[in-house]
Amino acid sequence: MFFVFRNRCNRLITGAALAVFPLVTFAQVEVDKEISKQATELTNLLVNYQADKGSLDRFYFLESSPERIRRMLTLTDEYSRKLEQFPYSKLSLEGKVDYTLFRRDLENARYALQQDEKAAATGMQQLPFAAAVFEVEKKRRRGAVPASAQLAKEMQDWTAQLKARLQALETDKSIDLMAGYAAEKTARDLQDALKSVHEFYNGYDPSYTWWMETAYKGVDSLLKVYGTKVLEKARKNASGGDDGSGIVGRPIGHDELVRQLKTEFIPYTPEDLVTIAEKEFAWCDQEMLKASREMGFGDDWKKAMEKVKNTYVPEGHQPEMIMDLYNQSINFLKKNDMISIPPVAEETWRMIMMTPKRQLVNPFFTGGEVLSISYPTNTMDEADKLMSMRGNNPHFSRATVHHELIAGHHLQQFTSQRNHAYRNFDTPFWTEGWALYWEILLWDKGFPRGPEDKVGMLFWRMHRCARIIFSLNYHLGKWTPQQCIDFLVNRVGHEKANAEGEVRRSFVGGYSPLYQLAYMIGGLQFNALRSELVGNGKMTLKQFNDAVMEENAMPVEMIRCILTDKAPEANFTTHWKFYPGIK
Check pLDDT > 60 for residue 132. yes
How many CA atoms lie within 13 Å of 267's alpha carbon, on the beta-carbon side?
14
Mean pLDDT of 440-449: 96
Residues 337 and 450 in one domain: yes
> What's the CA gap between 423 and 411, in Å, rounded?
16
Residues 368 and 455 in one domain: yes
* DSSP class of 373: E
* Domain final residue, candidates 121, 145, 172: 121
Determine, yes or no, domain membership for 225.
yes
Determine, yes or no, domain membership for 502.
yes
Determine, yes or no, domain membership for 574.
no
Mean pLDDT of 346-371: 90
Measured N-to-C along each axis, helices 515-533 and 451-475 cross at an angle, to the nearest 10 degrees, of 120
Residues 195 and 264 in one domain: no
Residues 107 and 137 in one domain: no
pLDDT of residue 12: 40
> Given pLDDT bands bounded at 50, 70 and 90, which one contains residue 495?
confident
Check pLDDT > 60 for residue 42. yes
Give residue-wise pLDDT tens across range 138-187.
999 999 999 999 999 999 999 999 999 999 999 998 899 899 999 999 99
Mean pLDDT of 119-140: 97
Residue (of 390, 393, 405) closest to 326 by Cα position: 405
Check pLDDT > 50 for residue 574. yes
Domain extent at residue 469: 257-563
Give backbone dihedrals phi and psi of 310, rounded to 5 degrees, phi first: -80, 10
Residues 206 and 290 in one domain: no
How many CA atoms lie within 13 Å of 453's alpha carbon, on the beta-carbon side?
15
Residues 460 and 324 in one domain: yes
CB 83 within 8 A of CB 103: yes
Check pLDDT > 90 for residue 9. no
Residues 399 and 538 in one domain: yes
Q: Return the higher-pLDDT residue of 379 and 192.
A: 192
Mean pLDDT of 70-85: 98
Determine, yes or no, domain membership for 570.
no
* Domain final residue, candidates 121, 149, 176: 121
> What's the CA gap between 466 and 274, in Å, rounded?
9
Q: What angle do CA 10, 11, 12 make, to 5 degrees?
A: 105
Residues 335 and 350 in one domain: yes
Residues 151 and 282 in one domain: no
Q: What's the pTM? A: 0.90
> What's the CA gap between 453 and 443, in Å, rounded?
10
Residues 178 and 224 in one domain: yes
Give residue-wise pLDDT tens across range 475-488.
999 999 999 999 99
* Domain final residue, candidates 189, 213, 241: 241
Determine, yes or no, domain membership for 298.
yes
Q: Which residues contact 34 (CB under 8 A, 6 or more apart)?
A: none
| Structural domain total, the chain | 4
Residues 167 and 237 in one domain: yes
Determine, yes or no, domain membership for 569.
no
Determine, yes or no, domain membership for 247.
no
Determine, yes or no, domain membership for 582.
no
| The residue count for the chain | 583
Residues 115 and 184 in one domain: no
Check pLDDT > 90 for residue 578. yes
